[in-house]
Chain A
Amino acid sequence: DAGVTQSPTHLIKTRGQHVTLRCSPISGHKSVSWYQQVLGQGPQFIFQYYEKEERGRGNFPDRFSARQFPNYSSELNVNALLLGDSALYLCASSLGGYNEQFFGPGTRLTVL
């Protein structure tokens, strides 16, 4: 069975640009969550979507936005990139509720 997939795997951008990261959940999973992981720290919760509606938002600025499509895939958008946005961006999918979350391999974003 295919796991959670994310694209691209690596990305290099410059300050002020915007970026779109993509995530495809495990088949049958309706919940997708996004996390940012800076080197040496644990993942930080950004967004959670369930059935195409936002279920939660972490403490991130409005430059960060996301959406979930009818096929349950998801995009994370970050505008006006800052050097501090350089991180590993992780997507996780689950059936929802208290069920186990399955993480993708992540997208490594470098902002120069």
Chain B
Amino acid sequence: LAKTTQPISMDSYEGQEVNITCSHNNIATNDYITWYQQFPSQGPRFIIQGYKTKVTNEVASLFIPADRKSSTLSLPRVSLSDTAVYYCLSSPDKLIFGTGTRLQVFP
């Protein structure tokens, strides 16, 4: 099963751009890269998914290089409400979660 590696924690301030990088060296050809956000005592919430190059939606951008061995989630102008755990996954349907990146946004 594909595994991902990401930083355990990150700190930022309101209004800054936050980039969280994830390593997935063993990603399979048919795997998509998916990011979820989770607040305490809630289920994870889908943020964005991509296969290659760049994907952008209303909340984030996802950058995937040509070799697909890593990806970067970009959150523009974070606010306090973006404080959460962010998970990077590379399995298509049976989601394999790691420990995630705990993002703390300060005022």
Contacts and interface: CB of A to CB of B under 8 A. Distances in A.
Contacts of B95: 33, 35, 43, 45, 92, 101
A44 interface: yes
Given A42-B87, A100-B49, A106 B43 contact: yes
Contact of B96 (A41, A45, A97): A45
Contacts, number: 57
Contacts of B98: 42
Contacts of A31: 93
Interface of B: 32, 34, 41-46, 49, 85, 87, 92-100
The list of the 9 closest CB pairs from A to B, nearest first, reads A103-B43, A42-B97, A100-B46, A56-B94, A98-B92, A43-B97, A90-B43, A103-B44, A42-B100
